[in-house]
Amino acid sequence: MFPRIRNVVSRAAAYGLAAVGGGIYTDYKYNSVETIASEFVSASLAFKHLQREKKKDGPECTSGERDLDQVVYQAAENLSTRATWTLLKYVVFAGHDSDEVYRLEWIIAQLQSINAILVPQKGAQAFEFERQCDLYYGSQVSPEYLDEDRTTQLLQELDELLPRSASPLHERYRAYRNRFVIPKKQYQPVFRKLVDDMIHEMKQHVPELHSAHLTQKYVDDSSLCFEATCQATSRKESEMLVNIARSITYDKAQQLAVHELTHHLQFVLMEHHLYPRFPEMRASIDAGPLDMLLEGGAELVVDLLLPPAERLKDLETRVPRGRFSTGALRDALKVERITWSGLWPCSIRIARDFINGELSKQEAMKAMQEQALKSNDSWPNVAFFEEYGAYVQSYGWGKELILEYLQVLQSQKHPEGNSLEDKRKQILEEYIEFMKRPPTPSRMQDVINQAR
């Protein structure tokens, strides 16, 4: 009872303060959401330009880039303060769910991300993993998700599934996996068919996809590329690039195709629904909070579109007839489930310990190989943690966060509960609605916390 009263009192105080602050700020002409949004677009474009230039020049920052860092940082900092005051005003006068609050929350989250990225580049120490999660994405990976016991249990299950031998688990896994690798010559027809089938499946749920065109653009020795255009803009919306220099198994091909095609689906939905209402979202920064939701969402849709039974049925149509029994394919999918989605928390824990300096690069590579079962030439790997820091949490944790959030929405709409199959379909529908106006990760976390 007491915390609740305290909460109400502190909220009232904050709103009172906001009303006064908002009142003062209404006097300034630059205080509309439109103005803040257009200034955000400029700040974001300047930031992206700066990042691109630095990438070209390599790790050593030139003095001109450092000066520009400072300018962009100051502009973003200043805009962030004004946006925060304006947000408070809109919360009081327009309520939490208004479009203005939505826009400002996204703008503030992205400005925070821009500044957090620029601060270490100004010479300060890179942030620890937890601080990166907080500042870049406004979301903290929950300790329950990272539970080590769950990983131990999954590795035991894997040990029982794989053929016995004296070799260490990661070598047994590699040998087992090799049996299901698609012959290189077959990559193109297998992916072409998969992409067609999965797009057909997605169209059943998302009518907007009918106006999206997908073409197989090129194939060379190292990559396969599908390009999607969206009729609403008739320009290229997304590109699905499959790195075929790596060996790909039949089950991995399913996961890859659905993940990448979900990005097409997301772009088409955003093009139709999000950008017309909130044009500044088009200027979202790369590897920021929106991208976290796109990656987590793509992982989630794999499970929603192809639950285990569907996936097995689909797999039986992909592998050459008579090569594997149904039982062998079922086991292969169990192994895939453990080693892909099951071991995400393990990869994230290793990334955290590496970023926080508790593991050296060598130790992190060894742990990735032996515990997360990802050798250095597969993905995610330590090079990815080095380049993108805590961004790796977007995939596994992003998926978990979106699922929890959608489940909260579901349980509010259907408190009586439904069958698992109905729930899956409803969550898929809920996800499609979600993509038309995705909330910030921190807003999602608030909704989840309130429902607990």
Q: Which residues bind Zn ion (CB under 5 A)?
A: 295, 298
Distance in Å, CB of 259 to Zn ion, minimum: 6
78-81-87 Cα angle (round to 5) = 140
CA dist 237 to 211, 226, 290, 426, Å? 12, 11, 16, 27
Beta bridge partners of 241: 225
Two structure tokens written together for 338: 């453990």
Give CA–CA dist 113/115, Å, rounded: 6
Residue closer to Zn ion by CB (options 151, 394) is: 394
CA dist 363 to 162, 261, 304, 354, 359, Å? 26, 35, 35, 8, 6
Distance in Å, CB of 169 to Zn ion, minimum: 28
Distance in Å, CB of 199 to Zn ion, minimum: 16
Which single residue is written with the structure tokens 């499970």? 303
Distance in Å, CB of 265 to Zn ion, minimum: 12
Contacts of 260 (CB under 8 A, 6+ apart): 226, 240, 241, 242, 298
Distance in Å, CB of 93 to Zn ion, minimum: 38
Residue closer to Zn ion by CB (options 302, 428) is: 302
Residue closer to Zn ion by CB (options 295, 400) is: 295
**Cβ-based burial of 145 (10 A; exposed 0-12, middle 13-18, buried ≥19):** middle
Distance in Å, CB of 388 to Zn ion, minimum: 13
Q: Are 161 and 331 contacting, i.e. CB atoms less than 8 angstroms apart?
A: yes
224-226-227 Cα angle (round to 5) = 140
Of 316, 365, 309, nearest to 337 by C-alpha is: 309
Q: Are 216 and 194 contacting, i.e. CB atoms less than 8 angstroms apart?
A: no
Residue closer to Zn ion by CB (options 280, 295) is: 295
Helices 289-305, 99-121: inter-axial angle, 10-degree rounding: 110
**Count of CB atoms situated within 10 Å of the CB of 227:** 17
Residue closer to Zn ion by CB (options 287, 382) is: 287
Distance in Å, CB of 48 to Zn ion, minimum: 19
Give the CB-side neighbour count of residue 236, counting CA atoms within 13 A. 9
Residue closer to Zn ion by CB (options 162, 240) is: 240
Cα-only R_g, the chain:
23
Distance in Å, CB of 298 to Zn ion, minimum: 5
Residue closer to Zn ion by CB (options 283, 298) is: 298
Residue closer to Zn ion by CB (options 43, 306) is: 306
What does the DSSP 8-state code read for residue 179?
T
Residue closer to Zn ion by CB (options 102, 137) is: 137
Distance in Å, CB of 263 to Zn ion, minimum: 6
Residue closer to Zn ion by CB (options 243, 317) is: 243
Distance in Å, CB of 336 to Zn ion, minimum: 17
Give CA–CA dist 395/318, Å, rounded: 26
Give CA–CA dist 318/44, Å, rounded: 44
Two structure tokens written together for 413: 């709409």
Q: Are 138 and 289 contacting, i.e. CB atoms less than 8 angstroms apart?
A: yes
